[in-house]
Structure 1
């Protein structure tokens, strides 16, 4: 399998995790937190989707699905339009409520765009520098793997929270 195929496979695994985490959960369960100050499943899934949307839109040179797909209007969150959840405290986490269908819908829209973008890449594209504010500068492959890593960590946290909530 080539590098583009590996990236596509990685992003598909995130989709499977996201679907598995939200499947069968009520909006109240998705918004519940396993303890004060913890992130809810809804926030974790929304945030990982926002990060993927933000970062892939940036390297692809397109508008975020959050905006172009009308998802900001559908979620009606009290945040800046381009807020991704980075640095959110307990009050902002609590503000993210959504049912499983909405969380899945937004994630699936971002996933489709991500996979479409990745499928159009060549091995040479992956070596292009996309961010010079780091030392060493960040290549496209490093940025995409970073997004996958972040998303997988948050999806794992959401799965862990689900397990705890369903055992209560």
Structure 2
């Protein structure tokens, strides 16, 4: 198996988890929070997508889908174009409201862009340093594994919140 194939599979699993957490839910349920400090499904999926978009664009030297594809305008959120959700307050989390169609549209656009880049990654590419702000410096391989790990973590959290929301709706 080539490194590129492994990466394509890993990113594909994140996509499956994101779709499983979001599909079929109305906007109000996507925005529900377990308590006033918790993250909603909408925020979790928006955030994991922003991180993937930011990090993949950064390591491959391309513009983010968020701005290039007009997604920032479609979402209409009161955040800067660079915002990814990192460090957001509870009140900022509450401002992320979106339909399943919008969330999945943006996620799938970022996923497709990621696949375009990842399909050509070689073993040698994975050792390229992409961020010298850390000690040790971060390589492409480490950054991509980090994106997959964060994506899976937040998609799992979104699936958990979905379960709670659905149980509430049945009660």
TM-score by length of 2: 0.97
Counterparts of 1:43 and 1:95, CA distance in 2: 8
2:60 and 2:130 map into 1 onto residues whose CA distance is: 10
* Paired position in structure 2 for 1:38: 38
Moved over 6 A (4+): none
| 1:15-62 deviation line (CA, Å, top 9, x unaligned) | 001111111100000001011100000000000000000000000101
Partner of 2:156: 156
Q: Report how many aligned residue pairs link the two structures.
A: 168
Partner of 1:111: 111
Once the two structures are superposed, the pairs formed by residues 118-133 of structure 1 within 5 Å of their partners are 118-133=118-133
Distance 1:34 1:112 in 2: 31
For 1:72, what is the secondary structure of its paired residue? helix
Mind listing any 5+ residue stretches in structure 2 that lack a counterpart? none
Q: Distance in 1 between matches of 2:139 and 2:126?
A: 7
Deviation at 1:4? Answer: 1.4
Partner of 2:72: 72
Aligned twin of 2:140: 140
Structure-1 separation of matches of 2:95 and 2:36: 14
> How far off is 1:135 after superposition?
1.1
1:27 aligns with 27
Equivalent position of 1:98 in the other structure: 98
2: CA distance, partners of 1:141 / 1:84? 21
1:3 paired with 2:3, answer yes
Aligned-residue CA RMSD (Å): 0.6
**Paired residues of 2:3 and 2:121 also in contact (CA < 8 A):** no
- Secondary structure in 2 matching 1:81: coil
Distance 1:160 1:147 in 2: 20
| Structure 1 residue 75, shift from structure 2 partner | 0.1
